[in-house]
Amino acid sequence: MKLTILGKYGPYPRRGGATTSYLIECGGKRVLLDAGSGSLSRLQQFCALDDLDLIVLTHLHSDHCSDMFVLRYALKDKLLPVLLPHTPEKEYGILHACPCFEAMEISESLDFTIPETNVKLSFCRTIHPVECYAVKFREGQDSFVFSGDSRYTDHLTDFCSGAVTFLCDSGFLSAEENTGALPHMYVREAAFTARRAGVGRLLLTHINPSYEEEMLLSEAAEVFRPVEIVEEMKQYHI
């Protein structure tokens, strides 16, 4: 499987950047995993929009799905399957009503095989202000997990167990501790999740543009290695 970083920022992009979005190539298919702002422009440097086989949206916050509302103008003669949460109702309703999207609701009981492949998808509910799911791609013995957005949860840690690559929401530095209930993991918690789950490699994403990346990386590396902050437009074998 191959991961291409289209956008790594959240909740808004750095100048010249894009918010959370990834292209996963697996089993000869192309899957768009989240569709943040700026992602469609980036995606077309790797494939045509019509070449997508599936879209997976972890949740319907704008930094993860805003370009879906643009993609609907681009797909003319195609019905594209979209796995997404059923709520919030307003955003779901708009996407469900688009004739170019075949909406399929995500749940923890869903076991989805990408058609004509041996790649299986499974989902884990996370802790976030809206309905959100981590997603696992499994091909043979290998698995890749993307956290979506989440606070720390043992449930997600169990879900990640043994993953070759774990791409994780790394929303906050420890300096933000004691500032109240936050919707993302501290980067130390992302690293702790990786360590407890025994993953092969931790990739940090959902980077707040106001942070120095070196600070995020050093806080994570104190807890788990190998770890790196993903680079936009870079490709990773996962």
Per this entry, what is the length of the chain?
238
DSSP annotation of 50 reads G
Q: In 97-122, which positions are buried (b, 16+ CB within 10 angstroms) versus exposed (e)?
A: ebebbebeebeeeeebebeeeebebb
Judged by CB under 5 A, the number of residues near Zn ion is: 2
Residue placing its CB nearer to Zn ion in the complex, 33 or 119: 33
Is residue 232 involved in binding Zn ion (CB under 5 A)?
no
Q: What share of the chain is helix, strand, coil (3-state, %, to 5)?
A: 25, 30, 45
Specify the residue for token string 């170019």.
Answer: 100
Closest CA to 168 of 121, 118, 228: 228
CB of 141 to Zn ion, least distance (A): 31
Q: Considering only residues 36-95, where is the footprint of Zn ion by CB under 5 A? A: 61
Q: In the structure encoding, which two tokens stand for residue 227, read together?
A: 């770890």
Residue 234 has φ and ψ, to the nearest 5°, of -85, 150
**With contact defined as beta carbons under 8 Å apart, do 8 and 34 qualify?**
no
Residue placing its CB nearer to Zn ion in the complex, 64 or 188: 64
Q: Considering only residues 137-176, where is the footprint of Zn ion by CB under 5 A? A: 149
CB of 139 to Zn ion, least distance (A): 27
Residue placing its CB nearer to Zn ion in the complex, 145 or 223: 145
CB of 19 to Zn ion, least distance (A): 10
CB of 60 to Zn ion, least distance (A): 9
Residue placing its CB nearer to Zn ion in the complex, 119 or 193: 193
Distance CA 163, CA 195 (A): 11
CB of 90 to Zn ion, least distance (A): 15
Q: Considering only residues 95-134, where is the footprint of Zn ion by CB under 5 A? A: none
CB of 186 to Zn ion, least distance (A): 15
Q: In the structure encoding, which two tokens stand for residue 126, read together?
A: 């996370």
Residue placing its CB nearer to Zn ion in the complex, 8 or 61: 61
Residue placing its CB nearer to Zn ion in the complex, 4 or 66: 66
Residue placing its CB nearer to Zn ion in the complex, 61 or 136: 61
CB of 39 to Zn ion, least distance (A): 15
**CA torsion angle 133 138 141 143 (round to 10):** -50
Distance CA 6, CA 162 (A): 25
Q: In the structure encoding, which two tokens stand for residue 149, read together?
A: 């957005």
What is the contact surface with Zn ion in residues (CB under 5 A)? 61, 149
